[in-house]
């Protein structure tokens, strides 16, 4: 089965999955819902038909095994879950590209040197229970039963209740790491769309991803004194204006350090049109590929927030939500990934990722690397998410080259 034929088959399967699990608003494969179940059943049936042995681990990661000449194994995959009204490629591209590789070495292909596992990691998006990378973090040991027990969705449904549908309990997630470590894994490979406009603006279709930014996430609470909107502005203790001033400063910090600063959530109290807010809570997500730079950005953001609070006669407090350090992928796999991109496109394009991926968690356990396909207009997590088919096919071919090399060395 040649690479061109396989790449065409991957695109056909992606289109089939999209038709099966999307509506007019986009993909609806939110984890721990019936549509996600449909996607996983589709994966299992496709892989079983190709001769794979399909299993589900204690964190509900789904595995399709193609036995090789040796037990030493390569994992290829990503996630099938989506955000609500999501795109047809996010996550699915990596899984379905893995399925294409499985077909190359399944009952219709040749036996690989290494054993191949195609994996669908459980709940990468965190769309329902606000916890990203559940399945892969269970493997790395970062997602524990204690965390699982405390999760609820927007309707108040506890994660423990949702797990009953899958015959699981929160305590089961901790078993997944030991199950994983029983496998003699040599490498993990993941293809994903970029989810940003960098490649398109550089007129590139595909790139090797050498690392992923670290991230520091926190809530900032500005506290002043609410009062009537007829009060003179200069005499107010307006919590929202302090948060707004700080947010503009965060933007400049991100630009100055070539990093990322994002205020994604804003809540004001009392949230009334004729009252200026006495309290404003905002989220701040900061990212950099350099750990030292991220530390500087976080410190500068604190200074900027404190200055904004002082300028507006309010106070500010800080609550850390989450932190993960920058990830740099395995050097040997990165070199092979660069070679595959160059062989397919004529140039060894390399970049790092701003968004988080399952590969970050898996790289804590086994050597890993990623490859990015260009995202049209940089859009993702929306129905407009797309990659032109000729570009998508070239990215898939490059990834197939990488997989063929790693599986057979």
State the Cα torsion 191-194-200-205 to the nearest 10°. 0
Which CATH number is correct for 215-324, 3.90.1150.10, 3.40.30.10, 3.30.70.360, 1.10.8.420? Answer: 3.30.70.360
Is 381 annotated as ligand-binding? yes
What are the boundaries of each domain within the chain? 3-212+326-408, 215-324
Question: pLDDT by residue for the chain (409 residues), tens digit each?
Answer: 689 999 999 999 999 999 999 999 999 999 999 999 999 999 999 999 999 999 999 999 999 999 999 999 999 999 999 999 999 999 999 999 999 999 999 988 889 999 999 999 999 999 999 899 999 999 999 998 888 888 999 899 999 999 999 999 999 999 999 999 999 999 999 999 999 999 999 999 999 999 999 999 999 999 999 999 999 999 999 999 999 999 999 999 999 999 999 999 999 999 999 999 999 999 999 999 999 999 999 999 999 999 999 999 999 999 998 899 999 999 999 999 999 999 999 998 999 999 999 999 999 999 999 999 999 999 999 999 999 999 999 999 999 999 999 999 9
192 is in an annotated binding site: yes
User: Known binder of ligand: residue 90?
Assistant: yes
Contacts 24+ apart (CB under 8 A), 250-255: 250/284, 250/286, 250/301, 250/304, 253/286, 253/297, 253/300, 253/301, 253/304, 254/286, 254/297
Residue 202 has a pLDDT of: 96
Q: Is 85 helix (H, G, I), strand (E, B) or coil?
A: coil
Q: Is 357 annotated as a binding residue?
A: no
DSSP 376: G
CATH topology of domain 3-212+326-408: Aminopeptidase (3.40.630)
237 is in an annotated binding site: no
What b/e sequence results for 337-357 when a residue is b if at least 16 CB atoms lie within 10 Å of its CB, and e otherwise?
A: bbbbbeebbeeebebbbbbbb
């Amino acid at each position: 089965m040649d690479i061109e034929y396989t790449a065409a088959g991957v695109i056909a399967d992606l289109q089939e999955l999209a038709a099966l699990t999307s509506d007019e608003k986009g993909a609806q494969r939110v984890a721990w819902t019936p549509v996600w179940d449909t996607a996983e059943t589709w994966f299992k049936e496709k892989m079983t038909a190709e001769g794979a042995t399909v299993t589900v681990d204690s964190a509900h990661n789904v595995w399709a095994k193609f036995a090789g000449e040796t037990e030493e194994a390569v994992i290829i995959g990503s996630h099938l879950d989506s955000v609500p009204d999501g795109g047809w490629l996010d996550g699915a591209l990596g899984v379905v590209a893995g399925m294409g590789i499985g077909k190359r070495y399944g009952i219709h292909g040749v036996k690989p040197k290494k054993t191949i596992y195609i994996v669908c990691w459980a709940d990468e998006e965190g769309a329902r229970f606000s916890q990203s990378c559940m399945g892969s973090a269970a493997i790395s040991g970062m997602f524990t039963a204690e965390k699982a027990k405390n999760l609820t969705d927007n309707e108040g449904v506890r994660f423990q209740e949702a797990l009953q549908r899958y015959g699981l309990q929160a305590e089961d997630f901790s078993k997944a790491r030991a199950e994983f470590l029983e496998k003699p894994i040599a490498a993990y490979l993941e293809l994903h769309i970029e989810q940003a406009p960098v490649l398109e603006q550089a007129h590139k279709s595909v790139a090797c991803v050498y690392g992923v930014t670290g991230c520091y996430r926190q809530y900032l609470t500005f506290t002043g004194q609410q009062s009537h909107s007829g009060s003179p502005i200069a005499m107010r203790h307006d919590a929202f204006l302090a948060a707004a001033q700080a947010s503009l400063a965060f933007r400049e910090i991100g630009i100055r350090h070539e990093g990322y600063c994002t205020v994604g959530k804003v809540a004001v109290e009392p949230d009334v049109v004729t009252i200026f807010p006495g309290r404003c809570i905002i989220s701040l997500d900061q990212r950099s590929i350099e750990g030292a730079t991220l530390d500087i950005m976080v410190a500068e953001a604190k200074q900027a927030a404190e200055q904004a609070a002082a300028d507006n006669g309010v106070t500010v407090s800080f609550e850390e939500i989450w932190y993960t350090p920058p990830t740099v992928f395995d050097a040997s796999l990165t070199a092979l990934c660069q070679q595959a991109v160059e062989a397919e496109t004529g140039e060894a394009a390399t970049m790092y990722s701003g968004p988080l991926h399952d590969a970050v968690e898996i790289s804590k356990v086994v050597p890993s690397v990623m490859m990015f396909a260009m995202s049209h207009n940089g859009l993702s997590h929306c129905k407009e998410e797309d990659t032109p088919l000729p570009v998508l096919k070239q990215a898939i071919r490059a990834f197939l080259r990488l997989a063929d090399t790693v599986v057979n060395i």
